[in-house]
Structure formats: structure tokens, C-alpha cells
Amino acid sequence: MANSAQARKRARQAIKRREYNFSLRSKLRTAIKSVRKAIDDGNKELAQNAYNNSLRTVDSIAGKGIIHKNKAARYKSRLSAAIKVMNS
């Protein structure tokens, strides 16, 4: 365990930051999951709305450095492509 006051404080901050990052990552996964569910259901309009709502979440989390910007772009690109392929 940490011996100095500074190291103890950094350990406390790391725990808080980890919990915060975990909640944001969970929010990201939920947003992506909602788009994929709408795609699987075959409702193109609902999928497009879910996609538009998830864009803000993905960009926000990438901007905070929780995920890399290229990973965010990959998520958005693949979801968009999946919506375009839908037949309805």
C-alpha cells in the first residue's frame, strides 16, 4: 500500500477515476446495443433514430479519452453501414 500522503491521495483518485470511466464505458455499450437491437428488429426508422442519439454519446466518450477517436469512428461507420444495408 502507499506510504506517503501523496501516494495515498493518488490511489484514492485512481479509484474514483476508474469508477467514472467504467460508468461512461457502460453508457457507450448501452448506446451501441440499442442501435444494434433496432437493426436486428428490422425497423429502419427506429434504428436511424437510435443511431443519431448514440452519435453524441460515442463522440463525447472519445473526446474524454475513454476510447480512442479511431475506435469511435469505427463504431459509427459500422453502425451506419449496417443501417444502410437494411432492406425496409
Q: Please list, in sequence order, all residues whose beta carbon lies within 8 angstroms of the beta carbon of residue 66, skipping any fewer than 6 positions away.
A: 21, 24, 25, 28
User: Given 3.40.140.80, 1.10.1060.10, 1.20.58.110, 3.40.50.800, which CATH number is that of 5-85?
Assistant: 1.20.58.110
What pLDDT is stored for residue 88 in this prediction?
A: 56
The per-residue pLDDT for range 54-72, each reduced to its tens digit, is 999 999 999 999 999 999 9
What pLDDT is stored for residue 63 in this prediction?
A: 96
Asked if 31 and 53 count as a contact pair (C-beta separation under 8 A), the reply is yes
Going along 1-88, which residue ranges are E strands?
none
Q: Please list, in sequence order, all residues whose beta carbon lies within 8 angstroms of the beta carbon of residue 72, skipping any fewer than 6 positions away.
A: 58, 59, 61, 62
Please state the domain extents for the chain.
5-85
What pLDDT is stored for residue 87 in this prediction?
A: 75
The per-residue pLDDT for range 2-34, each reduced to its tens digit, is 789 999 999 999 999 999 999 999 999 999 999
